[in-house]
Structure 1
Amino acid sequence: MRLAVVIVSYNVCDLLRRCLQSVCGSARQSESWLAVEVTVVDNASHDGSAQMVAGEFPHVNLIAMTDNIGFTRANNFALRRLGFGADGRERAPSAPDLVLLLNPDTEVIDDALGKLAAFMRSNPSAGACGPRLHYEDGSLQHGGFAFPGLAQVALDLLPLARLPGLSRLLQRLLQSRINGRYSRRQWLGVAPFPVDFVLGAALMARGASIRAVGLLDEGYFMYCEEMDWCLRMGEAGLPTYAVPAAQIVHYEGRSSSQIRWKSFERLWASRFRFFRRHKRLYPHGFHLFLRPLVRLGLAWNGWNARREFARGRLAGHRLGEQLDAYARVLDLGG
């Protein structure tokens, strides 16, 4: 069985080096039935990432882009190179059996690659799977979720923790199914369990699943592309699972934190696209409540930002960036 690991990177040279070292180490621990190859798509980094890969990891397939084409398009570029055709529905004999989309700000622990691949090998009806994720300090990061609803939008946008007496209740809500979370007991166990989708930080898809539903939707520059992919797989009868026995550390958001408010806009552009594209899951009534909820949340956060500025806790240019981002999100669909 062949596994292709695809890593899309942008200006995270040191993290990418650590990621590749961990992937190579995990591959060496894999069973003999699993052959692992690695492709890095460098999205026109200017920190020496491509040169580092070429010099230190000559066995890795390096695709050095001349422009930043975004996370989704870059992954699709690699998938086409791997033999999945223009739209993903053509699979060349050379195409791998499994593909792992892996963020560069991750570190694969022990035989996580082999454990994910073994699950897919033993469960031929599974379309995709993902590992248990950890933050850098070892705490659990939820790596799989239920598809978002209005409650999740509200919990994301409204700073309810500031309201007296709600902080403890909010923490329970944030970790509950209302906020799309599966239980910690499931994540801290070893038994695989079904989820609506897993994070694109570490998403393993079967080659046959890609052929069944096509490539990632390039309408998502970044964010939500994994939700869309897993939803399409589920609709095709190819469910997604979490495999907590496989563990990966996720140094979350190092790439996107470089451009925080641009990332915020892209996140909401992708969310609006996802909600609009999947009308069965998000009918007309959902959107009637979504728009005022987003407006309320952004207005509330804007008011708090202005208050922080007035107290000298937020620089004027930071306030401007934040308010401009909120205005652009409202223009997108809020």
Structure 2
Amino acid sequence: MTILVAVVSYNSERLLPDLIAGLRSGLDGQKWHLTVADNASRDGSVALVRTLAPEATVLEMGRNAGYAAGINAAVAASPAHDAVLVLNPDVRLTPGCVPRLLRALREPGTGIAVPRLVDGSGTLIPTQRREPSVLRTLGDAVLGARRAGRFRLLGEVVTDPSQYEVERFTDWAEGSTQLISADCWARIAPWDESFFLYSEETDFALRARDAGLRTRYVPDAHAVHLEGDSRVSPGLWALLTLNKVRLFRRRHGPARSAAYWAALVLRESSRAALGKRPSRAAARDLLTPSRLRETPGPASVIRWA
């Protein structure tokens, strides 16, 4: 059993040493191979990987091609493997994490396995997600994500702490740490590169679920996600919000898509009125038809790692 560890780097020099250092204990006895797809970093990311992990495959993309494109390229450039471990550079595996995910991946109907994630201070990160819907977006707008998430019909983010203590299926999960079976990858891949950043993991997981390969949350597999700045960066939050609309339109008809867009406008406009700059940027873009039509690219991104 060989695990491909697929990492996309972009100016990630400060994050890569700890990531690489934790792989051996995190994979704990499994045979594995590291492939890093670098999206034209301007720092020393490429040289650092070649120094710290000389056996790794380093793929220089030559441009900032986006997260999905990096994952797809990393998998395509790698030797034969039995599962794909997708990792953000700011993830730190804890000892034994991957063997526990691998055990869960063998359960019937499972295509993706995800761990319990905490942030740098040890606080649980609510990573489980329900499929986006109009009602859930309205619930988020009216009640706030944390309160709405306690109710299955009213929140997209699963926020009930008890749901993080048991192994269970979830519609999808945040994409920083995912173990994907080779069968799931062969049947569902590639990740949709048109999203550039955000919603690509949602799209992949929902398509996998449609094919009978679900995402399994594994509470006894642990990792740390230091997390990026999508919640504080206006550019990243606007991109995340726009991609939610694009994904919803692909899975639903015009009437439901229009209702979903309106619910997002309500949510972001109400938060913008409270002075939240990321929501102000998102509301502006939601109300700009050209932004909804265009394919996002590097110019849409303020910073990501």
Query: TM-score normalised to the size of structure 2?
Result: 0.85
Larger Rg: 1 or 2? 1
Query: Which residue of the other structure, out of 71, 89, 98, is the alignment partner of 1:113?
Result: 98
Deviations 1:15-64 (A, max 9, x none): 2221111112223x23xxx3111111121122211121111221222122
Give the whole-Å Cα distance in 2 for the aligned partners of 1:12 and 1:47. 8
Aligned to 2:201: 226
Counterparts of 1:1-334 in structure 2, within 5 Å, are 1-27=1-27, 29-30=28-29, 34-82=30-78, 94-120=79-105, 122-154=106-138, 156=140, 171-177=146-152, 178-180=154-156, 181=158, 183-189=160-166, 192-253=167-228, 260-279=233-252, 283-305=253-275, 323=280, 326-331=283-288, 332-333=291-292
Residues 145, 182 of structure 1: 8 Å contact kept: no
Q: After TM superposition, give the deviation of residue 142 of structure 1 in Å.
A: 1.7
Q: What is the root-mean-square deviation in Å for CA atoms of aligned residues?
A: 2.5
Deviations 1:256-307 (A, max 9, x none): 57x922212321221111101112xxx44422422332333333333333xx
Q: After TM superposition, give the deviation of residue 329 of structure 1 in Å.
A: 2.9
Paired amino acid for 1:303: A
Q: After TM superposition, give the deviation of residue 3 of structure 1 in Å.
A: 0.7
Could you say if the C-alpha distance between residues 171 and 208 of structure 1 is closer, same or farther in structure 2, counting changes exceeding 3 Å? closer
Residues 146, 197 of structure 1: 8 Å contact kept: yes
Could you say if the C-alpha distance between residues 53 and 157 of structure 1 is closer, same or farther in structure 2, counting changes exceeding 3 Å? farther
Moved more, 242-251 or 146-155: 146-155
Give the % identical residues.
Answer: 27
Q: After TM superposition, give the deviation of residue 109 of structure 1 in Å.
A: 0.7
Equivalent residue pairs, number:
289
Could you say if the C-alpha distance between residues 234 and 14 of structure 1 is closer, same or farther in structure 2, counting changes exceeding 3 Å? same
Paired amino acid for 1:110: P
Q: Which runs of 5+ in 1 are unaligned?
A: 83-93, 162-169, 309-318
Query: TM-score normalised to the size of structure 1?
Result: 0.78
Q: Which runs of 5+ in 2 are unaligned?
A: 294-305
Deviations 1:78-126 (A, max 9, x none): 12213xxxxxxxxxxx531100111111110111011111222x32531
Question: SS of the residue aligned with 1:292?
Answer: helix
Question: SS of the residue aligned with 2:179?
Answer: strand
